[in-house]
Chains A and B, each alone.
Chain A
Amino acid sequence: MKSMNPSIKRRISALILSTTLTFGAISGPSPRAEAGVIVAAASSLYVTIPALAIAGMLGGFGTAVGSIYYAIDHRDKAWWAYAFFMLDAELQSGNLQQNIEQRYPGIDSTVAAEIAKMVTEKAKETAFNEKGLKEIMLSEAELAPVIELLAETDPALGQKLSNELTRATLVK
């Protein structure tokens, strides 16, 4: 009898083994960490990156380690991204321009970039307070070109910026 093609044979074995192990991991009363390891072993035989990501989700792997960090940092969303490889955009922590754009929806990117630049420049001359933050306050003169522009294009936003940025603002 002609023997089976080795690659098909390997694939079928992997499929049977991984299906068995996957069901075992899901249906059995095993602790999370254990289940994670079993599923990771099973899936790595058949598919690599996506399955390992799923293993993190299913098992204790992520729960035990990664998520502890994210929980502390209030960044549990990042844990999701790590486990699933999703096209979910996250604000980069410390990206001032993005934070400004998030805080003032509808602001033009170049206006936000200009404010970020002003804040960054000013921050260089400012010392950290006891909480490790810097208190930045922009003057009306510094903000004048931005406010003048917004007076023509979006007066309400201009007023809001003028009110908020000429008062103390905390940055890291």
Chain B
Amino acid sequence: MGAMAFGSTPDPEAFCRDYLALRQKQSHSRPTPDQTLKLLFHPRSLIRARQWDRPVPLLSPRDADKTARKVAYVMLKAPEWDDSVVRAVRETQQRIRRLPIVQDLARIETLNACRSVIKQDSFGYARMSDYLDQFKNAEPHLEAKRQWELRALVEKKLAAFARKGWEIRFPRTYFEFMSELERERDIREAMLISHADADGKLYDASGNAVPKGFLLNLPVNLGKLILFSCHSEAVLNHYEAIQASSTLDIHYPELRDRLQNLYQTSIPVVALRGMLVSAEAGITTRSEPDRACKLDVVLPEVSGRYEILLQNRLIGILDRAREKSIPFDCSLLGSGKLIFKLHHAEGESRPPPRVSEMRLTTPGSGMVPLRVKEFVSSDGTRHIQTIGTTGGHP
């Protein structure tokens, strides 16, 4: 597991190589005049709201149930930062921008030209290096401020949704989101705004990856879910939208073709209002979820917050309760070795829960007790995971 180590003064050779690579990347991604106008004056048109498995995007928007409870969950960080640190970097930045070396570097096209600029102005390069050190040290603050600004922009854009009856909430973790959907059974429509990576994993405001399978066993009251994140296609694949969409309307943003040179598969927050079409769309009539199988989990006492997975897919949560019954679609059992997992959902401290019992009920075999095995750290203080497998008690 090699770690990236940051040197104090960058080696000019490496600097020139990386700088030119970045310049090249930027020149590919310059917006055209038409794109610029859209970005400035009509950002919502950067994206198109789509509904999964519908060739024509969305059904009649006017079918929407005006009385349905709708909640937008913003799973983005709201960090704090030291403004004096950020201001100091910005001030240095202003001075650095005026240095001849920065102007000269903006014009270079080749590695040799870059080397020559640095060689001719070693004093300027040293000052730039000092600035880079300052920037590096201030980076957590700059990043925190950027995250805050991003969230502020989302909040601003969500005002239009609030006017259409959407409640706005800021869960710290996806567990809170799941827990709330389970608790408040009158929520019919939800929107999830979060970061995603190129593999399609969604992340909550605490940086936890949302487990695979979370779409597959959502409470039955939920009829529509809007996923607003980057890399929509990867997200839909990762969370198996194809399976989830049999019982749930899934909406997502799609970047307009002509903007792919700018954003690839990322989604700009500024376009959030483009999802208003989805927010107003009616819910498609779908089949009732067939959740004929059931897992019962019993703990000796009420303890922490746990996630329960079946074949590595999240099927439910146990939120400070002593026992829980989780109905699920029997197709999730799959064909391989049957493994249920239970582990802590969050927190540094993970005291072992000592699961008393796990029972699986299926239409074919009735109720079967699972073989429960608990795994804790070598010093016995931290719970790693409890698994339940078929085969009865050990």
Interface residues of A (CB under 8 A from B): 15, 18-19, 22-23, 26-27, 31-33, 39, 43, 46-47, 49-51, 53-54, 57-58, 60, 63-65, 67-74, 76, 79-82, 84-90, 92-95, 98-101, 103, 105-106, 108-111, 113-114, 117-118, 131-133, 141-142, 144-146, 148-149, 152-153, 169-172
Interface readout for B54-81 with A: 1 if CB under 8 Å, 0 if not? 0000000000000000000000100000
B25 within 8 A of A: yes
Residue of A nearest to B43 (CB): A50
Cβ B195 vs Cβ A87 within 8 A: yes
Cβ A89 vs Cβ B203 within 8 A: yes
Residue of B nearest to A92 (CB): B207
| Chain B positions within 8 Å of A74 at CB level | 4, 18
B85 within 8 A of A: no
CB-CB contacts below 8 Å: B1-42 with A: 1-6, 10, 14-15, 18-19, 21-23, 25-26, 29-31, 33, 36-37, 39-41
The 8 closest A-B pairs by CB, nearest first: A89-B195, A172-B3, A50-B270, A71-B18, A110-B343, A149-B375, A71-B22, A89-B197
Cβ B263 vs Cβ A68 within 8 A: no
B231 to chain A: closest CB distance in Å?
8
Cβ A117 vs Cβ B382 within 8 A: yes
B215 within 8 A of A: no
| Chain A positions within 8 Å of B208 at CB level | 109
- 26 A-B residue pairs with CB within 8 Å: A19-B37, A22-B40, A33-B106, A49-B149, A49-B152, A63-B106, A65-B97, A68-B128, A73-B4, A74-B4, A74-B18, A85-B270, A86-B230, A86-B266, A87-B195, A87-B228, A95-B207, A105-B199, A110-B350, A110-B383, A114-B377, A131-B5, A142-B378, A144-B378, A149-B384, A172-B5
Cβ A117 vs Cβ B18 within 8 A: no
A79 to chain B: closest CB distance in Å?
7
Known contacts A68-B19, A89-B196; A46/B41 CB under 8 A:
yes
Residue of B nearest to A50 (CB): B270
| Chain B positions within 8 Å of A111 at CB level | 384-385
The count of chain B contact residues (Cβ–Cβ below 8 Å) is: 84
Distance A70 CA – B10 CA, assembled complex (angstroms): 12
Known contacts A80-B266, A84-B266, A106-B312; A71/B378 CB under 8 A:
no
Distance A133 CA – B40 CA, assembled complex (angstroms): 46
Cβ A58 vs Cβ B384 within 8 A: no
Interface readout for B150-173 with A: 1 if CB under 8 Å, 0 if not? 101100100000000000000000
Q: Is the interface of B mostly helix, strand, loop or mixed?
A: mixed
| Chain B positions within 8 Å of A103 at CB level | 1
Interface readout for B195-215 with A: 1 if CB under 8 Å, 0 if not? 111010101000111010000
Distance A32 CA – B343 CA, assembled complex (angstroms): 53
Among A26, A69, A87, A146, the residue within 8 A (CB) of B194 is A87
Cβ B132 vs Cβ A145 within 8 A: no
Among A81, A89, A146, A170, the residue within 8 A (CB) of B384 is A146
Distance A32 CA – B108 CA, assembled complex (angstroms): 12
| Chain B positions within 8 Å of A70 at CB level | 22
B361 within 8 A of A: no
| Chain A positions within 8 Å of B18 at CB level | 71-72, 74, 76
| Chain A positions within 8 Å of B25 at CB level | 76
A95 to chain B: closest CB distance in Å?
7
Residue of A nearest to B92 (CB): A65
| Chain A positions within 8 Å of B383 at CB level | 110
Among B102, B106, B128, B385, the residue within 8 A (CB) of A110 is B385
| Chain A positions within 8 Å of B87 at CB level | none
| Chain B positions within 8 Å of A67 at CB level | 19, 22-23, 26
Residue from B30, B128, B146, B385 having most chain A Cβ neighbours under 10 A: B385
B326 within 8 A of A: no
Cβ A170 vs Cβ B3 within 8 A: yes
| Chain A positions within 8 Å of B76 at CB level | 87
| Chain B positions within 8 Å of A84 at CB level | 263, 266, 268
Residue of A nearest to B344 (CB): A110
Distance A74 CA – B19 CA, assembled complex (angstroms): 9
Residue from A84, A92, A110 having most chain B Cβ neighbours under 10 A: A110
Distance A101 CA – B268 CA, assembled complex (angstroms): 26
Among A47, A49, A69, the residue within 8 A (CB) of B136 is A69
| Chain B positions within 8 Å of A88 at CB level | 195-197, 230-231, 266
Among A18, A60, A72, A99, the residue within 8 A (CB) of B40 is A18
A21 to chain B: closest CB distance in Å?
11
Cβ A108 vs Cβ B343 within 8 A: yes
Residue from B43, B230, B270 having most chain A Cβ neighbours under 10 A: B270
| Chain A positions within 8 Å of B201 at CB level | 89
| Chain B positions within 8 Å of A69 at CB level | 132, 135-136
Known contacts A65-B93, A67-B26, A89-B201; A149/B146 CB under 8 A:
no
B393 within 8 A of A: no
A113 to chain B: closest CB distance in Å?
8
B389 within 8 A of A: yes
